[in-house]
Structures are given as structure tokens and as C-alpha cells.
């Protein structure tokens, strides 16, 4: 009998923590350094999360040049957390990565986040802009109760929501913590340059638990679009599979997909960062909703005034979608994206306020 599968994940992770001796990420740091520790940065094939990790680093280097920045990749969290405690001083700040994983949709990530919160009770901890989602069932309710307890115990934990729906929920759930609203950190970038000739229509659809559109409907729509248009149609997901992406490789991977978007006449997507990549590259976009509402909420909070992005829903007909595509392709006006720099002032002030 395989007994390992019955061992709770938290217990397994605590064993890894206790047995760990890795020094890899701390060797160039000491306790007296003024540091910002980025916890949970992505190093896997989701380019939306890679873009978040990339944008976080740029944001911190620009706004906090006097700090040393230490990153511990998400898959190395437990084996390095004990050694990390040796070099983290009381003056140091722990930054938890932004994204869409506060809740029970990605429980493994949530458990690691809680471990950081519990292991560093005396440090200021700031969560970069996040979406929160708990399913309305036994598992979701149980996880919500635990998360609320762990977060609430840390009196110097500050949370940033990346859209209004999550902001309202976080204010309700985390009433013992400071909660603010700022955009997804990738919206602090501008990737319109270099300008490219727009050559094709790009389909960027997800195939995982966050997919809301029924597969048969999606396949039917894609077939009709391919039959309808003479333009080349390509498929490019923001998730590129089981690949490890190191910190020094992020920009290369991101520039490849941003070039694809810059060359697109229009992108159809149900990926949040598919829509966000369209925003920062000035690319026409039709955005479809996903299962936890983060695309709709982000659009309504930050992007509804951008002329190149249009949000549809599951009731939008194929004919309506075709009409939107034709209208977007027909308009050849140059679209200029203005970074939402001032929207991050609250985040900057909280990092400064130690």
C-alpha cells in the first residue's frame, strides 16, 4: 500500500523545511543587508506568471534601488526557507508574488504562501496584486477559514487586490489586515515597441480548470473563424507547457510572445494575461470570461476604456464576434498604451513604510 498519498501536504512540506540545508539563494546576502525578498516567483511555463515575476523585479529595481533583491523560486521554497531565515533581518521585507492564486483553486501555492506568513512573523509581508477565489463548497469553505486565520494572525501583512471584485472580497475576509486596490503588476509595463507589421489573427485560449467556454462551442467558433477569414490564423497560448524558465531567461520568453501579439491584427483570448499582453502591446483584443471572473473584473476595473479591447460573454454569438473582429481589423489607428504608473503609489508607499 502506498501510504505517502495519505500524508497531508502541509506535513510533507514541513519535513522538507526541517531537513533542508540549501544555501544556493542566500550565498551573496547577509543579515545586515537591506533586502527585499521575493517569495514564490514563477519559473514554470505559464508566461502570465513569468510576466508577473519579470514586472515585479523591474518595478522594485526602479523604485527601490537601495535594496538588495533576493528571489527564491516557487519550487525551491521549502528547501530554502530555513536558510533564508538566517539572512533575513527585521528590517527586511517579504514580497509574495502577485497573480490569481489566493484561495483554493491552486491549493499547493496557497499552502506555501501561508508557510512564508507563519515562518516570518516579525517581518513586513506584502502580497503583490492578487485575485482571490474560494469555491462555495466544503473544500473552499475549509480553506477560507484556515487562510483567514493564518493571514489575520500576521499583524504586518498587507494585501493588494488587482481588481475590484477581489478587493471587495479581501476587505470582507481579511478585516484584520490592510487591503488596497492596484492593477496587475504587468500593467506597469509598456511593450508596444518595436512596432511590427500586423499579419495574422491569434487565438489564445486556455484548456485548464479556469476555462469557462464549453470545449465544443470553442471548437465550433474556431472552425467558423478559420473558414471565414483569408487571414492567417495561429494559436498561441500563454501557457507553453512543462518547461523551466530561469530568472535570466524570462525576458527572452516574454519578448517572443509579445512579438507574436505585436504582429497580430487581433487576439481572441480567455487568458487574463492574454488580455493584459494586448493592453501593453497596443493590440486589438476580444476577451472572453474565465471560470473565476478575474478577466471580467480586471477589464471593468482597469481596461474598459481602452479602445482596442472589447469584452464579450458566453452568450455573444459567433456572428457578433465576427463583426467585432471585422471592426477591429478595419480600424488601423495607432493604439498607444499609457502605463498605469500612478495607480501603484499605494504599493510604493507600503513598501517604504517599514
**Calpha distance 103→79 (Å, rounded):** 23
Whether 3-188+342-352 shares its CATH topology with 200-330 is answered yes
Q: Where are the domains of the chain?
A: 3-188+342-352, 200-330
Residue 32, judged by CB atoms within 10 A of its CB (0-12, 13-18, 19+), counts as exposed
40: closest CA among 113, 91, 103? 113
Is the backbone peptide bond immediately before 318 cis, with ω within 30 degrees of 0? Answer: no
The CATH architecture annotation of domain 3-188+342-352 reads 3-Layer(aba) Sandwich (3.40)
Q: What is the pLDDT of residues 23-80, one digit of tens each?
A: 678 888 888 899 999 999 999 999 999 999 999 999 999 999 999 999 999 999 988 9
Alpha helices in 229-317 (DSSP H): 250-262, 272-281, 294-298
User: Tens of pLDDT along 275-288?
Assistant: 999 999 999 999 99
Determine the CATH number of domain 200-330.
Answer: 3.40.50.2000
Q: Is the pLDDT of residue 8 over 70?
A: no
Q: Is 138 left (phi over 0), alpha (psi -120 to 50) or beta?
A: alpha
* pTM exceeding 0.85: yes
* Residue 15 scores a pLDDT above 60: no
Residue 14: band (very low, low, confident or very high) from pLDDT cuts 50, 70, 90: low
Q: DSSP secondary structure string, 119-132? A: H-TTSEEEEEEEEE
Amino acid at each position: 500500500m502506498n501510504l505517502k498519498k495519505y500524508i497531508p501536504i502541509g506535513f510533507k512540506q514541513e519535513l522538507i523545511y526541517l531537513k533542508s540545508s540549501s544555501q544556493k539563494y542566500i550565498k551573496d546576502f547577509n543579515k545586515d543587508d537591506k533586502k527585499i525578498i521575493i517569495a514564490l516567483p514563477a519559473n514554470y511555463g505559464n508566461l502570465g506568471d513569468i510576466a508577473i515575476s519579470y514586472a515585479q523585479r523591474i518595478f522594485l529595481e526602479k523604485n527601490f534601488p537601495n535594496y538588495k533583491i533576493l528571489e527564491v523560486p516557487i519550487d525551491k521554497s521549502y528547501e530554502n526557507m530555513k536558510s533564508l531565515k538566517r539572512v533575513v533581518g527585521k528590517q527586511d521585507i517579504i514580497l509574495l508574488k502577485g497573480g490569481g492564486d489566493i484561495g483554493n483553486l491552486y491549493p499547493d501555492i496557497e499552502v506555501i504562501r501561508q508557510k512564508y506568513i507563519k515562518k516570518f512573523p516579525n517581518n513586513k509581508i506584502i502580497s503583490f496584486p492578487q485575485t482571490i477565489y474560494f469555491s462555495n463548497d466544503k473544500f473552499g469553505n475549509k480553506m477560507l477559514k484556515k487562510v483567514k486565520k493564518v493571514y489575520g494572525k500576521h499583524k504586518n501583512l498587507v494585501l493588494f487586490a488587482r481588481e475590484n471584485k477581489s478587493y471587495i472580497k479581501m476587505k470582507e475576509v481579511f478585516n484584520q489586515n490592510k487591503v488596497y486596490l492596484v492593477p496587475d503588476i504587468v500593467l506597469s509595463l509598456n511593450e508596444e515597441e518595436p512596432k511590427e507589421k500586423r499579419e495574422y489573427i491569434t487565438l489564445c485560449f486556455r484548456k485548464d480548470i479556469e476555462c469557462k467556454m464549453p470545449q465544443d462551442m470553442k471548437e465550433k467558433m474556431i472552425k467558423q473563424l478559420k473558414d471565414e477569414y483569408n487571414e492567417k490564423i495561429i494559436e498561441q497560448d500563454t501557457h507553453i507547457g512543462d518547461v523551466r524558465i530561469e530568472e535570466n531567461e524570462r525576458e527572452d520568453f516574454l519578448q517572443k510572445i509579445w512579438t507574436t501579439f505585436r504582429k497580430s491584427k487581433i487576439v481572441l483570448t480567455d487568458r487574463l494575461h492574454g488580455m493584459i499582453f494586448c493592453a501593453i502591446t497596443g493590440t486589438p483584443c476580444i476577451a472572453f470570461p474565465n471560470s473565476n471572473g478575474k478577466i471580467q473584473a480586471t477589464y471593468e476595473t482597469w481596461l474598459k476604456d481602452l479602445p482596442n479591447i472589447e469584452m464579450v460573454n458566453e452568450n455573444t454569438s459567433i456572428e457578433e464576434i465576427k463583426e467585432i473582429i471585422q471592426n477591429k481589423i478595419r480600424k488601423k489607428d495607432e493604439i498607444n498604451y499609457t502605463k498605469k504608473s500612478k495607480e501603484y503609489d499605494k504599493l510604493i508607499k507600503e513598501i517604504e513604510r517599514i
